[in-house]
């Protein structure tokens, strides 16, 4: 399977680092015409490169919306959390980090996070292994605790546990929704922000309160990826989704939950991006403290010898997917 690189077909094509002149040719061409077919782009743009190389250069380096500079603490947290969920799905992880490329995330994981985890004695390969695609050895998604992530043995049990993690988090989000949806609850207005409806009335609330991280993730590529890889979840969500464009993690029939759409999530992402830029300067001042804090965070999450302990934070005698966040909300808004 597969095919030889396009570069092999055309000898004499340049390889190696790009020069500023080549960059300019590529940027000028794409800005004027769009990239169109990558295969023919080099010729049209006057480049002695293969289309694949041009595509990579554009996506990883020249694209105008690329965010440069060190990873923020929030981004590090996201990478760690998402890697725990989807494993080495760098493009999926990068999709949740505006302006970051899969290559950048991958490099950052391999050169920083992974090494630091090893130094701390944490096995960074506690990760999700994708389902085998071989027709000869069909197997469910596989989660391993060793470097031999290609192993397909005893995978269904681990997969089921991982699915249970998602389900737990989903139920938790639902519980919060119910709790805050109570008309008598002083936090009723906050509840609306957990699952924004996108209408103008709630728009101001969205600014005040963070939206539910799990629900956002569930409706993102990450959640989609997870659902697609787990037949049971897929079947369940397909049932829920009939008549809806996007899956909702909530099985409770509230109008709020069913009204969360992709555009809502996109809108929220935009707002967060603006906020993030405002806070960037402050974050950079805290750069020196960042590493220790991040790995303290990891230590907090990685407690226990369960290979999914990563997800769990013991909170008031029950496990929580987003322990600290839920903890804050619960403490602030506990109606009892």
Partner DNA sequence: AATCGTTGCAACCGCCTAACG
Partner DNA sequence: GCGTTAGGCGGTTGCAACGAT
Query: Following CA atoms 180, 186, 187, 189 in sequence, which dihedral angle do they give, to the nearest 10 degrees?
Result: 100
The rounded Cα 95 to chain-centroid distance in angstroms is 6
Under the criterion CB under 7 A, does residue 18 sit at the interface with DNA?
A: yes
Rounded distance, CA 182 to CA 36, Å? Answer: 52
The rounded Cα 88 to chain-centroid distance in angstroms is 11
Rounded distance, CA 124 to CA 145, Å? Answer: 9
Under the criterion CB under 7 A, does residue 108 sit at the interface with DNA?
A: yes
Residues 6+ apart with CB under 8 A from 174: 249, 250, 251, 252, 257
Q: Which is nearer to DNA, 143 or 180 (CB)?
A: 143
Under the criterion CB under 7 A, does residue 89 sit at the interface with DNA?
A: yes
Under the criterion CB under 7 A, does residue 103 sit at the interface with DNA?
A: yes
The least distance separating DNA from the CB of residue 103, rounded to whole angstroms, comes to: 5
Rounded distance, CA 193 to CA 271, Å? Answer: 14
Under the criterion CB under 7 A, does residue 150 sit at the interface with DNA?
A: no
Q: Which is nearer to DNA, 90 or 214 (CB)?
A: 90
Query: Quick one: which of 73, 91, 189, 330 contacts DNA (CB under 7 A)?
Result: 91
Under the criterion CB under 7 A, does residue 60 sit at the interface with DNA?
A: yes
Query: Quick one: which of 102, 209, 246, 271 contacts DNA (CB under 7 A)?
Result: 102
Residues 6+ apart with CB under 8 A from 44: 29, 33, 36
Under the criterion CB under 7 A, does residue 34 sit at the interface with DNA?
A: no
Q: For the chain, what is the radius of gyration of the CA atoms?
A: 22
Query: Quick one: which of 25, 26, 45, 53 contacts DNA (CB under 7 A)?
Result: 53
Rounded distance, CA 276 to CA 74, Å? Answer: 9
Query: Quick one: which of 78, 92, 220, 320 contacts DNA (CB under 7 A)?
Result: 92
Rounded distance, CA 83 to CA 101, Å? Answer: 15
Under the criterion CB under 7 A, does residue 156 sit at the interface with DNA?
A: no
Rounded distance, CA 117 to CA 155, Å? Answer: 24
Under the criterion CB under 7 A, does residue 288 sit at the interface with DNA?
A: no
Encoded one letter per residue, x for contact with DNA by CB under 7 A and - for no contact, window 113-142 reads --x-----------------xx--------
The least distance separating DNA from the CB of residue 90, rounded to whole angstroms, comes to: 4
Under the criterion CB under 7 A, does residue 1 sit at the interface with DNA?
A: yes
Residues in the interface with DNA (CB under 7 A) total 42
Q: How many CB atoms lie within 10 A of CB 229?
A: 19
The residues binding DNA (CB under 7 A) are 1-7, 14-18, 36-39, 49, 51-53, 55-57, 60-61, 88-92, 102-104, 106-108, 110-112, 115, 133-134
């Amino acid at each position: 399977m597969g095919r030889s690189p396009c570069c092999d077909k055309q000898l004499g094509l340049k390889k190696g680092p790009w020069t500023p002149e080549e960059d300019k040719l590529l940027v000028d061409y794409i800005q004027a015409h769009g990239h169109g077919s990558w295969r023919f782009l080099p010729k049209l743009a006057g480049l002695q490169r293969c289309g694949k190389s041009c595509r990579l250069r554009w996506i990883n380096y020249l694209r105008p919306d690329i965010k440069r500079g060190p990873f923020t603490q929030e981004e590090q947290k996201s990478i760690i959390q998402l890697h725990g969920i989807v494993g080495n799905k760098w493009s999926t992880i990068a999709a949740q980090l505006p302006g970051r490329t899969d290559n950048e995330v991958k490099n950052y994981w391999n050169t920083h996070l992974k090494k630091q985890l090893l130094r701390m004695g944490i096995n960074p390969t506690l990760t999700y292994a994708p389902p085998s695609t071989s027709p000869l050895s069909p197997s469910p998604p596989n989660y391993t605790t060793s470097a031999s992530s290609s192993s397909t043995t005893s995978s269904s049990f681990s997969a089921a546990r991982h699915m249970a993690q998602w389900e737990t988090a989903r139920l938790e989000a639902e519980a919060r929704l119910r709790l805050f949806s109570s008309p008598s609850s002083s936090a009723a207005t906050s509840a609306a922000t957990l699952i924004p409806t996108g209408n103008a009335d709630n728009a101001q609330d969205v600014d005040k309160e963070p939206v539910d991280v799990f629900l956002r993730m569930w409706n993102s590529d990450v959640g989609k990826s997870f659902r697609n890889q787990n037949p049971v979840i897929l079947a369940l969500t397909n049932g829920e989704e009939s008549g809806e464009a996007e899956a909702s993690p909530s099985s409770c029939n509230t109008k709020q939950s069913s009204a969360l759409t992709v555009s809502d999530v996109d809108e929220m992402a935009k707002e967060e991006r603006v906020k993030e830029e405002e806070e960037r300067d402050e974050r950079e001042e805290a750069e020196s403290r960042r590493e220790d804090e991040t790995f303290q965070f990891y230590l907090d999450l990685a407690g226990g010898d369960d290979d999914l302990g990563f997800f769990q934070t013991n909170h008031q005698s029950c496990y929580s997917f987003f322990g600290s966040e839920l903890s804050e909300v619960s403490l602030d808004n506990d109606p009892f």
